Amino acid sequence: MREAAAKSHWHGKGALVALALAVGSLALLFPHGSAKADAPPFNVTYSIQVSAAPGQNAELHHKYNVGANPWPAAFHKNQITFIPPAWGVADGDDVDIGAVVGKLISQATAGWFNNPCNSALNIDFDPLLNCSIDTSQTVTFDEQFGDTNTNNIPDGCDKYPVFLKTMFPGITPRARMASFEYVSGNWVSVNFLILEPDTNLTLPVVGAFNPEASWGYLSMSVINDPTGPLVADQITDLCPPLVTDTYDYSPTKDNPATTGVNESGHAWRTNPTAPGTYTFRCYATSIQDADNDDIDNELDTCPHIVNAGNNPREAYNGDTDGDGLDNACDPTPGTANTDPDSDGFPNRQDKCPLVSDVSQADGDYDGIGDACDKADWNNDGDTTDPGEPTTFNSAVADGPYATTWITSNAPMNAPVGGLAELPDVSDSSSPSYIALAGLAAAALVALSAGAWYARRRWLS
């Protein structure tokens, strides 16, 4: 059995995109959260479109949405998509590096410059390229956007990003597809890892995740470098709704940026040879909600106490002075101060708005910074403030979370060139799903089908 620690779709406050979700020492970094009936509202949909007939090369179109229903709605932390094992999934070494193998179209929702999280953010990763899975030849996050051999393929595709080795020690993916885009003045990368059906994972907050081999190949994405430092940024929040469309092409397409080689014609995804019905699966968990006010920890500026407002996506909702800090924990609710702890992180991005914390460390990945993940939440020397003493512990992820499994049954009997629209079958009300209460990773966002979403750092 293969083992890896994955933050499949992992979203983190203050990071635009860097979703992803090892057994052993790294497992200690991912404390388990609790499975409770009072998990935050979590609205997820997933469907698949399959083209062509049995045994033929075929395009897969994954549609994944979070928070399409009215507020409140928590964002996701982990998200994994499973491609049935009967499908032909190419080994990355059998396809030209740089071949065009897909695209990701996404519309996220963001908060800019400490404003409410209600602005559309459209990011398209087009094209997605087949990239190296040779883990012995690596590049850093900054280096991946270069092109040292001038072949018009980013170095992060010619070589393997070292942060992926940190996230998945000892793991060589079956295939990797990646894209590198310039967004709002910053370079952004997304890496899709395709793992073998027998890969065990340790997910942030959830802990051990041991999928059955019969579920198929695991697909997850990592946006930017979740292992890098969090930096103050113009994007201070990400929240639902999130709408994504991910396409796997087959056969591959030629890369118009390269010369002297035609990368088209490789099988990338191949339909099962036998007619029948095949099941695609999507697994997703929400960000936690420590104070049970239906606002997840990443979006909640007062995660230890029920907010005065009920919708941080609206201006001045529970925030009289409009500084991004809810009145419930704002020491000066009538006087605006967008950075009261003077650590350079505005309230809506800061994991501890009232405790200076340049590192923004969050060892248990619950969205509450280590500096305030304790009984004395505002670190003022006593536990007499509203909501204190908390039950927070920086070694244990705080708050319940929701879990959803969605299956789409794919009838493999479409005529050549036909397109089979597969129905959504979501059993999110079943105790065996929701009560598991257990990303991403983006981030974008899961900005994608199978992702680890957590924007940790930009290259400007």
Task: Report which listed range, 69-73, 198-202, 339-343, is most confident.
Answer: 339-343
For 216, which DSSP code? -
Can you name the residues that pair with 60 across neighbouring β-strands?
Answer: 50, 248
- Within 10 A of 335 (CB to CB), how many other CB atoms are there? 11
* Angle, alpha carbons 430-433-439 (nearest 5°): 145
* Weakest-pLDDT range from 65-69, 331-335, 402-406, 440-444: 440-444
Q: What are the strands, taking DSSP E only, across 328-449?
A: 403-412, 419-421, 425-426
Please compute the mean of the pLDDT values over residues 226-249 and round it to a whole number.
Answer: 91
pLDDT for residue 319: 98
How far apart are the C-alpha atoms of 425 and 42, rounded to whole Å? 16
CB-based contact 291:373 (threshold 8 Å): no
pLDDT for residue 266: 98
How far apart are the C-alpha atoms of 369 and 294, rounded to whole Å? 19
- Per-residue pLDDT tens digits for 12-31: 333 333 332 222 222 222 33
Nearest to 7 by CA among 23, 21, 25, 22: 21
Indicate the domain borders of the chain.
Answer: 2-288+400-434, 303-399
Percentage of residues in the chain having pLDDT higher than 90: 70
**pLDDT beyond 60 at 94:** yes
How far apart are the C-alpha atoms of 203 and 404, rounded to whole Å? 15
Q: How far is CA 40 from the centre of its chain?
A: 18
Residue with more model confidence, 52 or 345: 345
Please compute the mean of the pLDDT values over residues 334-351 and round it to a whole number.
Answer: 97
* Mean per-residue pLDDT over the chain, rounded: 83
Please compute the mean of the pLDDT values over residues 264-292 and round it to a whole number.
Answer: 95
How far apart are the C-alpha atoms of 308 and 313, rounded to whole Å? 13
pLDDT for residue 230: 83
pLDDT for residue 170: 86
Q: Cβ neighbours of residue 37 under 8 Å, at least 6 residues apart?
A: 400, 435
- Per-residue pLDDT tens digits for 132-189: 999 999 999 999 999 999 999 999 999 999 999 988 888 999 999 999 998 878 899 9
Nearest to 219 by CA among 449, 410, 3, 444: 449
pLDDT for residue 186: 84
**pLDDT beyond 70 at 45:** yes
- Per-residue pLDDT tens digits for 290-330: 999 999 999 999 999 999 999 999 999 999 999 999 999 99
pLDDT for residue 4: 35
Which token pair is 414? 């479409």
The confidence band for 226, taking pLDDT boundaries of 50, 70 and 90, is confident
* Angle, alpha carbons 374-384-312 (nearest 5°): 65
Helix (H, G, I), strand (E, B) or coil at 240: strand
pLDDT for residue 203: 85
pLDDT for residue 311: 93
pLDDT for residue 438: 23
**pLDDT beyond 50 at 421:** no
* Weakest-pLDDT range from 28-37, 49-58, 329-338, 432-441: 432-441
* Weakest-pLDDT range from 106-115, 328-337, 342-351, 425-434: 425-434
Please compute the mean of the pLDDT values over residues 345-354 and round it to a whole number.
Answer: 97
Helix (H, G, I), strand (E, B) or coil at 167: helix
User: DSSP string covering 419-453, please?
Assistant: EEEPPPEE-TTSHHHHTT------TT---SSSBB-
User: 3-state SS of the chain: helix, strand, coil percent to 5?
Assistant: 5, 30, 60
